[in-house]
Structure 1
Amino acid sequence: MGRILSAIAAAVTLLVAAAAVITVVFTSSATGSSCDGGRAVKHLPGSELTDEQLGIVQVILGVVEQRQLPERASIIAVETALVESALRNLDHGDRDSLGVFQQRPSQGWGTPEQVMDPVYATGKFLDALIALDGWESMPPGWAAQAVQRSAFPGRYAEREPEATQIVTGVRGQVGDLPDPCVPPHDVDAPAAVQRALAQLGMPYCWGGGTTDGPTRGDGSSPPPCGPNSPGFDCSGLMLYAFAPSVTLPRTSRAQYAAPGGTHVALTDVVPGDMLFWGTDTRDPGSIHHVALVVTPGQLVEAPEDGKTVQQRAYRLDSPGLMPSAVRMSR
């Protein structure tokens, strides 16, 4: 499959939080794209949550939503993140603590790379939360402490009102997450499939493909890619296929967490869902390939150097196939 993409580190800035009342102000999306009404930055008196901090909130609420957990889980997770990192994805902490929830690889939370992935970190936090007997009836601060086992147990309850206001404010103003600038209707998935299938036989070109069609990419791919033979890499084909409906991120790894994407079980895929492969199916950071479902059991893809865009069968037990597909909406 395509070459493994290098990780992209996202910088986040310090949250200044000291207010009792939160007003939501619309300016721009967490991904940097604009939209009508410009929804996205929450305002605290005297300060603002940045796009990056909003992104952390969106990830938390999005993962909770995908798991169909009650809003209480969002409040517990957000108040924990406020305490542990001020809604930042920290690359340092006490001893080996890392990430949004300051999880420690030495304590079994995952590898350093995994706990630095906010999607993975949120999932691990929720795994520990829902494993608690009676967590839904616990005071949120108690539940957070039971997960984190902090030496300062009172800190979480202190942030509960703020977390509740953030969750309520964001949810009430921007609706479904993870992307507040995504209108609530589906993309034209059949059209995306047809656009991808129309490229059958086009060369695989590393870095190739835009919303407008095939390109040569970075020029490093061997024939059939060449100066006069443009083509696509795996994520470039997705970028082109969905272009009339939604603009996807450029890389397969980013497309797995694309704004407007919903994760669905592999057994529930429909035409137009995206399938992903990684070197470690537990780690979205290891994703290196993406393909588009034509029908369940059939896909279209730009596979690797030296090959062309193809349609082929796939199996649910395919090595490296990530445990969920992504269905786009916009």
Structure 2
Amino acid sequence: MKAFIRVTALAAAMLLLAIVGLVATVLVDDDAEATELSDGGGGLRGVPAEFRTWILRAAEECKQPELTPALLAAQLYQESKFKTSRAEATSTAGAQGPAQFMPGTWATWGRDDDKNGEASPWDIGDAVMAQGRMMCSLVKQAKGSGYPGDVRALALAGYNAGWGRVEQYRGVPPKSFAGGETYNYVQIILSTMSRFEGPGLLTVSGSGTGADALRKAATRMGTPYAYGGGGPSGPSTGFCDGTNGYLGGKCAASSTVGFDCSSLVQYAYWPKLKLPRTADAQYGATSDRPVSRTDLKPGDLLFWAHGGSGYVYHIAIYAGDGNVLHAPRTGKRVELAPLTSAMPQGDYLGATRP
């Protein structure tokens, strides 16, 4: 990570862009009614879409409540302003990538989290997950240190200047240390993280079977794709069939707890509507209630077949505003995506209203 932050970064940090603002986190038990609420630091807003899923995942995996998505987002903005190019995200000290890791530190925390075959501080997924792991460890260290002050501040100071400096000063290094650069780094992030706080990624309005199903499915955003996995009770491990479920030449589905496209839909509508298990069967069960593309409503089902006819290979739930909620493929997670690019446009078969 960057060794230090200049005081002038305070002015830059105040120019945060509100990039995305459609939001409300949805919480639900498997068989309960879904409820919308704004959950403060548990949600996220104002970050580029390509960072969002990884920030939420990194915060969730930490299990330390102090490490919220908003804290990680504010730290990323302070480190790199979400820049990812080598020209813009390489510091004079040699720190690299959006989370600004020095090579030696990256060797400890970096992993191939995005499963592209390389652990790189330039890959958004790898960088954010490494940032989350390191910050999670520092929060735990801060809690056990007995040093006074906010454990988040102690962790941020450790990330910026090294935990040894926190031990040296038995807390956040004072303004007198390095011209106050670490002190200001901590203060800027803690004071600006509220700009990133917000509900989750999807707001669902209205009532009825379709809206309720969409709310329920939205609680599973970020869940891994597992071919053959999942069902009415939730995610589960899947299987490989000789063609599907593989990643990097290995069967990923059998060791991944998740949903595939049709099990997510089945889960979302269950038990009010007990749809069959596969996308093709779900189309057969609802095709007598077709919906034109211009009349889509949240909760409608959308189908894709090769060439736009024949066997249905994919299903998604319409989420409004031209987006769908779906489990796309092995190696991906349940996500929102534009209808126009979720699957090949030439394969779009049509939509139904269950």
Relative to its length, the structure with more helix (as a share) is 2
Same fold (TM over 0.5): no
Please tell me the TM-score bracket, short chain as reference. 0.3 to 0.5
Larger Rg: 2
